[in-house]
């Protein structure tokens, strides 16, 4: 017989029930009644706590899809697929998607929905790990400092597109240098020449030529500042009332990119050279699978494309009804995200194939990723089309909608995480949201200076690289090994009436943590200092970048130390309190908590034996 007595969870899989008493008749002063069980609406947690929920189920799905499907789906995945063996790249991509991407996505949705709290509050299930909640909140905040700037660039380009002639077609503008060349034959091959599109981005928009490096930033450019302010205003009025407002905004921002991508694809496939570009995108080179770098890049893409580790999935799912089928949601939304990445490749490479043929150069001369693809190469391709201004407007509207809902998700992670942690802020959500977005705006101003692209590059390199992998690793360990996969599975069964299968439990317990540990090690081992073009950052800038990265990761040990020091009792009691759900702390006092039960029982039996020997 086991000496361990674990707390028994309620057998009901539908949460709490209300009892309705119905008066049948009254006889001689005695009332005869019957009782009926009333099924819950699905909005109330077993603890009895009520929480705001999404107006419609589709609001939640569109919000998750809108967050996960962002600019990287357009400028990152297609290029990786082309560079790493075309269709062969899908093999490691789908493999890591199945063993790590989907399980982690499912885990975060279930974690937020069951506990109905933000990224920090959910760790009432294992208090010592609450630091990882603050880690992901900080990461989302840091990303907001530079991600909003990308949207501001897109807005600037959108305004510039409302003209008879696009400003990045010729070299006769005030910002152009003597190196600018309109000649198509020298545009790609001559490294000493610059294209009008390149100079428009770096000199006309960023004014990079007025800065010598990160130590010479200058003042914010008023045009970009105004665009950034518009982005912040849109974000505020999308978030200020919570999911009731943001859930309506995503009906436009999450669906518009699919409409535009389809329109661009229909136009792209009619261009000369488009089919060659698509063939290059899909060409299968299985020999590339022998290259370890291909597998590393596939794993990295999975980690970042699904959006796990930012606290957004936890925040969004916390507003679901308690009985919502989060398993089905995880499968649907993660699959749509990956399919969107694959679909966008057809759009991108149809235009890149056109550019390759037009300039009579190899495709790898025009294929690139990152901001250069959507702000230099693609605008240049659009500029050569009839009705180029119309196509430019359509394209940059797509970029805006791709960026806005992802930025909304990051902001919501910060707002929900802090509101749930500091309950007094709930009554002042509008003011607190204003404080967060204005603070983000003020810090983002450093990225719209003459040398702002250097700060942008530094933030992009350090804010959510190794730190996000570390955060998800700690999150997975906390749930699988301290809270327990079995208990976590019980929570899911209580919500949806179905226990996760063996596959999901094995992934949570072993596969995903090992995968994440591998990624963290690889991230450190393959680290390369950031650079922009030919500019290499000074040592002090890299040190600031590492400090930024460590500032979020250090929250895990700092909070653990704080929690351990503030908990009552002996060292053993402190550990017990630290890893036991807050709702069961009273069981620690009685020695009825899982792994501590046996030792406490042995103490009681030993004490009883001593008393018996004394009596005899």
Annotated binding-site members for Na(+): 66, 68-69, 73, 305, 337, 402, 405-406
Query: Could you tell me the end-to-end alpha-carbon distance of the chain, in angstroms, rounded to an integer?
Result: 28
Instruction: Identify any residues that bridge with 250 across adjacent strands, giving them in sequence order.
Output: none
Tokens of 606: 């030993």
Q: Which residue has the tokens 């490479």?
A: 349
Three-state DSSP at 611 gives helix
Instruction: Identify any residues that bridge with 535 across adjacent strands, giving them in sequence order.
Output: 532
Q: Are 271 and 350 in contact (CB under 8 A)?
A: yes
Q: Which residue has the tokens 């901001």?
A: 371
Tokens of 528: 């390369």
Characterise 360 by phi-psi region: left (phi > 0), alpha (psi -120 to 50), beta (else): left
Alpha-carbon dihedral of residues 57, 59, 61, 66, nearest 10 degrees? 180
Tokens of 120: 């920090």
Q: Are 147 and 406 in contact (CB under 8 A)?
A: yes
Tokens of 262: 């389809």
At 33, phi and psi to the nearest 5? Answer: -130, 165
Q: Return the closest-CA partner of residue 289 out of 82, 98, 91, 100.
A: 91
Three-state DSSP at 33 gives strand
Q: Are 148 and 440 in contact (CB under 8 A)?
A: yes
Per the annotation, binding residues are 66, 68-69, 73, 305, 337, 402, 405-406
Q: Which residue has the tokens 């975060």?
A: 108
Tokens of 132: 């990882």
At 213, phi and psi to the nearest 5? Answer: 160, -170
Q: Return the closest-CA partner of residue 128 out of 614, 588, 577, 584.
A: 577
Q: Which residue has the tokens 């928009």?
A: 205
Q: Are 298 and 92 in contact (CB under 8 A)?
A: yes
């Amino acid at each position: 017989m086991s000496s361990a007595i674990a707390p028994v969870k309620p057998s009901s899989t539908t949460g709490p029930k209300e009892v309705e008493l119905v008066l049948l008749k009254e006889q001689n002063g005695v009332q005869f009644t019957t009782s009926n069980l009333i099924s819950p609406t699905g909005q109330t947690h077993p603890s009895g706590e009520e929480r705001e929920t999404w107006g419609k189920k589709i609001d939640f799905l569109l919000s998750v899809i809108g967050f996960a499907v962002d600019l990287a789906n357009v400028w990152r995945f297609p290029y990786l697929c082309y560079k790493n063996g075309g269709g062969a790249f899908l093999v490691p991509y789908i493999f890591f998607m199945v063993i790590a991407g989907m399980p982690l996505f499912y885990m975060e949705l279930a974690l937020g929905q069951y506990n109905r709290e933000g990224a920090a509050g959910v760790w009432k299930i294992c208090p010592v790990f609450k630091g990882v909640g603050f880690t992901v909140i900080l990461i989302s905040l840091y990303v907001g400092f530079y991600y909003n700037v990308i949207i501001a660039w897109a807005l600037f380009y959108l305004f510039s597109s409302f003209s008879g002639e696009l400003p990045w077609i010729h070299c006769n503008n005030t910002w152009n240098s003597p190196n600018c060349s309109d000649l198509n034959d020298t545009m790609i091959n001559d490294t000493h020449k610059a294209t009008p599109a390149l100079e428009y981005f770096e000199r006309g928009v960023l004014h990079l030529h007025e800065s010598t490096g990160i130590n010479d930033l200058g003042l914010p450019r008023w045009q970009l500042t105004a665009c950034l302010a518009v982005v912040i205003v849109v974000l505020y009025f999308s978030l200020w009332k919570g999911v009731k407002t943001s859930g309506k905004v995503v009906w436009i921002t999450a669906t518009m990119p699919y409409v535009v991508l389809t329109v661009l694809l229909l136009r792209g496939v009619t261009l000369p050279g488009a089919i060659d570009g698509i063939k290059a995108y899909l060409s299968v080179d299985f020999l590339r699978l022998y290259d370890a770098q291909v597998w590393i890049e596939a794993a990295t893409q999975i980690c970042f494309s699904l959006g796990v580790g930012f606290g957004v999935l936890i925040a969004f799912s916390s507003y679901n009804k308690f009985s919502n089928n989060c398993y089905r949601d995880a499968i649907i939304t993660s699959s749509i995200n990956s399919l969107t990445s694959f679909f966008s490749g057809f759009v991108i490479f149809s235009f890149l194939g056109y550019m390759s043929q037009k300039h009579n150069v190899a495709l790898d001369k025009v294929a690139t990723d990152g901001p250069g693809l959507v702000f230099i190469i693609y605008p240049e391709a659009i500029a050569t089309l009839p009705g180029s201004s119309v196509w430019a407007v359509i394209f940059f509207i797509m970029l805006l909608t791709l960026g806005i809902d992802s930025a909304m998700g990051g902001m919501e992670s910060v707002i929900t995480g802090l509101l749930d942690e500091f309950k007094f802020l709930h009554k002042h959500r509008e003011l607190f949201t204003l404080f967060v977005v204005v603070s983000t705006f003020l810090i983002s101003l450093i990225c719209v200076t003459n040398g702002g692209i250097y700060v942008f590059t530094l933030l992009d390199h350090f804010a959510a690289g190794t730190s996000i992998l570390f955060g998800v690793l700690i999150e997975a360990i906390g749930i699988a090994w301290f809270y327990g996969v079995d208990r976590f599975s019980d929570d899911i069964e209580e919500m949806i009436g179905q226990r996760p299968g063996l596959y999901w439990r094995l992934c949570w317990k072993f596969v995903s943590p090992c995968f994440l540990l591998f990624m963290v090690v690889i991230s450190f081992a393959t680290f390369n200092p950031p650079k922009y073009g030919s500019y290499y950052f000074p040592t002090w800038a890299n040190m600031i970048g590492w400090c930024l990265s460590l500032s979020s990761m250090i929250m895990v040990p700092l909070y653990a130390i704080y929690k351990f020091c503030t908990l009552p009792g002996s060292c053993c009691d402190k550990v017990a309190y630290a890893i036991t759900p807050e709702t069961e702390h009273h069981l620690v006092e009685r020695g009825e908590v899982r792994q501590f039960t046996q030792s406490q029982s042995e103490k009681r039996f030993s004490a009883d034996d001593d008393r018996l020997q004394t009596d005899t």
